[in-house]
Structure 1
Amino acid sequence: MKAFVAVLLAAGSAAAQGTKPVKIGVLADEQGFASDIGGIGATLAAKMAVEDFGGSVLGRPIEVVSADMQNKPDVASNIVRQWFDVDGVDMVTDIPVSSVALAVQSVAREKKKVLMISAATTTELTNAQCSPYTIHWADDTNALSVGTTKAVVESGGKSWFFITADFAFGTAMEKAATEAIKQAGGTVVGGVKHPIGTSDFGSYLLSAQGSGAKVVALANVGSDTITAIKQAAEFGLPAGGQTLVGYIVFITDVHSLGLDLAKGLYVTESFYWDQNDQTRAWSKRFLDRHGKMPSKEQANTYLATLHWLKAVKEAGTTDSEPVTAKMKAMPTDYFGRPGSVRKDGRVLYDLTLYQVKGKAESKGSWDYYTAIRSIPAAEAFLPLEKSACPFVKG
């Protein structure tokens, strides 16, 4: 009799487990400086991945939850602890702002939970502070510094001044770019740091103007980049012969600026809606639902979510270790372009250097980029042999 009751309880437990949803958490900036490039659009991208996958996995429905982490590491950490410990979230994606991503990664490593980081860019996520449960989809600070810097130095931009966001991403970007500038034969004559969400770049731009540098590099993102470019025009930096370089410029930034201000900017992108038939088809669906073309952050959130779901299906479980192993063994599909996941969690794919068109060249809304050259993954991303990731070295 006891054995019969035990069988009934086990069957009931299995049935309950079968209907328990698989949960994906989108940790986004929904109201701050990065809300336009990710925000509710990132949540939509994750939901589209779930829909395209079929809405269920392992016989369980898939649920997407989201939260605004306010760009604060402590707020973000508290959210993911609640998600992991109480709400049954299996994987977290998006995660803009490098300091936030590093804090969340620490929690996820402790809880042995998967992060699919599609927004934050610091190389530390797969370097000294790496986690065996993190897959880094966003093009990182090393990748973004390579193509743009080399092209600008070779075109005569030998002297540089940095206006850098004062958080982990900005510092990492400036460091990587400085090394690339020196290797290409250029020099860095100075730089300033600013807090995120800055509304007045006047003093920073005056310092850049006074430096005499030929190139003013913006190692910031989102509304900070947009504001800096607008105010640089007001202060006459481009008119005075200084070139502006935005290391992380999204298509939504260009859309907000307009081609009069953005014309000539060099932009390194992993994703552009007009790259091929697959990007055009998916982007049209996204545009119809969101009202804007997708940024690379939103596209990466879609791809990261889809790759995780495929690995869950292949592994037959949502447990982090077998799923992560499957993700690293499986090839990635970057809208028809092949890629891979390295053992440190770095996703490898080719990037493209673009230049922003002028109005006369553009054929219509969102037709903003001219491809300059491809940047192979081997050239863009930090080589594995230079990694300080403990579990890779061990």
Structure 2
Amino acid sequence: MSMISRRRFLQLSAMTSGSLAFGNLADYVPGLTGGTNRVYAAEPIKVGIIDPLSSPYKTSSIHDVHGATVALEMYNKRGGVLGRPVSIIEADDASNVQTAIKVAEKLIKEDRVDFLMGTFNGDVALAVADVAKQQNKLFMATCPHIMDLTGARCNSHTFVFMPNARMMAQAVAPYIVKAYGNRCHMITADTVDGKAALQAMMDALKALNGEVVGAAVTPFGSTDFVAVFTEAKNAKPGVIILNLYGWDLVNALKAYAKLELAKEKIGVGGMIGGEQIGRPLGYANNAGIWGLIWDPKINTESSKRFIQGVIDKYNHTPTSRCYLGYAAMTQILQCAAPARPRPER
């Protein structure tokens, strides 16, 4: 693959964002033209997608892969990128830093991928970002929200599609306070992600005169939250804020429903939820106020194409995590298409 500068990538990805929201993708993307199946002579462009497919984030991770695959197939049906097909290679990081480093190095050195994308856990994303820079590969982090990726640990090879924790917390906190009042109890996963969400929510609530009346930290992968919710109830909050995600969040909301805390006038909410939580939880138990990355009610032609693409491929309607994978893959391939070799110095 030819080289592309960080500035050029950002310029092109901004163009892609507009086309995803408002227009026909084929009209905007160089190398993506009309037509159906093509015959390819060149080697494929390979994208390695790293996600925790066997961790408490596994359901959302699968949706990240689904969205990315739908975007990739849309490109291939129209001739690929620069006449080359695009392929995806999946790897499971199991929400473990050392595993992530190993699979990232394998994807680069053995599978010879051109790009990396994916990850959920913040510490995993930071580790993959370091590998990508060392190996001179672009890494599109689709799902982590920790601030360090675009702050203290930002590097020239890593791009982040997911809104960060501060953005999400500032968006959702006013609605939580308006609905439930300013007395809050925090339940936080003992992870880099949980701590980032906690700090962001604390900062957002402070600006709204929020009062934290209690807090608990839970191990990543917890399945029983009854005891921590009982403790939270005794603190008499107006709302319990869950700095959790994946199956931790599903299991926590099951405990909230089991204890019937809504009848006690105790609300629930947090930085991020979505369809990927509501489905395994059961919609009757999907209570609270949550941030949402993508709304399926956005009624544009490109949104309709994305939704139908996921339905046709996987027989389910897309979640916001599908959207993240889809949009991130689209931006990678958009920017691969017009890249040209840099002159030697």
**What is the TM-score of this pair, normalised by structure 1?**
0.72
Mapped contact 1:141–1:176 kept (Cα < 8 A) = yes
Greater relative contact order, per chain length (Cα 8 Å cut-off, separation 6+): 2
Distance 1:220 1:55, change over 3 A: farther
Give the secondary-structure state (helix, strand or coil) at the position aligned to 1:238. Answer: helix
One-letter amino acid matched to 1:31 = S
Q: Which amino acid aligns with 2:114?
A: D
SS in 1 for 2:49: strand
Alignment of 1:144-223 (within 5 A): 144-223=168-247
Alignment partner of 1:162: what SS? strand
Q: Match of 2:274? A: 250
CA distance in 1, matches of 2:241, 2:43: 49
Task: Provide the C-alpha distance between the structure 1 equivalents of 2:309 and 2:297, rounded to a whole number of angstroms.
Answer: 13
Task: Measure the CA separation in 2 of the matches of 1:177 and 1:302.
Answer: 28
CA shift, 1:55, in A, is: 5.0
Take 1:65 and 1:55, find their aligned partners in 2: how far apart are those partners?
A: 19
Q: Report the CA distance shift for 1:287/1:163 in structure 2 as closer, same or farther (over 3 A).
A: same
**Structure 2 unaligned regions, length at least 5:** 1-40
> How many residues in Structure 1 have an aligned counterpart in Structure 2?
299
Alignment partner of 1:115: what SS?
strand
Partner of 1:42: 64
Give yes or no for contact 2:180–2:266 (8 Å, CA) kept in 1: no
Partner of 1:329: none
SS at structure 2 position matched to 1:89? coil
Structure 2 residue corresponding to 1:32, chosen from 46, 50, 55: 55
Deviation per residue, 1:52-108 (Å, 9 max, x gap):
223532333221100111111110110001111222111111211112111111211
CA contact (8 A) 1:165 1:195 kept: yes
Q: TM-score, normalization: structure 2?
A: 0.82
- Which residue is 1:352 aligned to? none
Matched residue SS, 2:291: strand
The equivalent residue for 2:117 is 93
Q: State the distance in 1 between where 2:236 and 2:309 align.
A: 46
1:275 aligns to 2:285 (yes or no): no
Distance in 1 (CA, whole Å) between partners of 2:229 and 2:314 is: 34
Partner Cα distance (1:314, 1:140) in 2? 29
On the 8 A contact 1:24/1:64 being kept in 2, the answer is: yes
Which protein shows a greater Rg?
1
The answer to whether the 8 A contact 2:182-2:211 is kept is yes
- Per-residue CA deviations over 1:159-193 (Å, capped at 9, x if unaligned) read 11111111111101110110110101111122111
| Native 8 Å contact 2:273 2:290 kept in 1 | yes
Cα distance change, pair 55–162 in 1 and its aligned pair in 2 (3 A): farther
2:283 to 238, 245, 259: 259
Distance 2:138 2:118 in 1: 12
Quick one: which amino acid aligns to residue 73 of structure 1? V
Gaps of 5+ in 1: 1-17, 320-394
1:228 correspondence with 2:228: no
Separation in structure 1 between the aligned mates of residue 186 and residue 79 of structure 2, nearest angstrom: 46
CA-atom RMSD in angstroms: 1.8
- Counterpart of 2:334 (choices 310, 320, 343) is 310
Give how far 1:313 is off: 1.2
Q: How far does residue 301 in structure 1 lie from its aligned partner after superposition?
A: 1.2
Aligned to 1:241: 265
**Separation in 2, partners of 1:186, 1:42:** 34
Identity of aligned residues (%): 24
Correspondence for 1:292: 316
User: What is the rounded CA distance, in whole Å, between the counterparts of 1:201 and 1:304 in structure 2?
Assistant: 34
CA distance in 1, matches of 2:215, 2:266: 15
Amino acid of the residue matched to residue 48 of structure 1?
A: V
One-letter amino acid of the counterpart of residue 132, structure 1: S
Which of 159, 170, 179 aligns to 1:135? It is 159
Offset at residue 232 of structure 1 (A): 1.3
Amino acid at match of 2:211: T
**CA displacement at 1:257 relative to structure 2:** 2.6
SS of equivalent residue, structure 1 residue 19: coil
Seen in structure 2, the aligned counterparts of structure 1 residues 104 and 55 have a Cα distance that, compared at 3 Å, is: farther
Write 1 or 2 for the structure with the bigger share of strand.
1
Shift of 1:251: 0.8
* AA matched with 2:50: L
- Which deviates more from structure 2 when the two are superposed, residues 86-95 or residues 212-221? 86-95
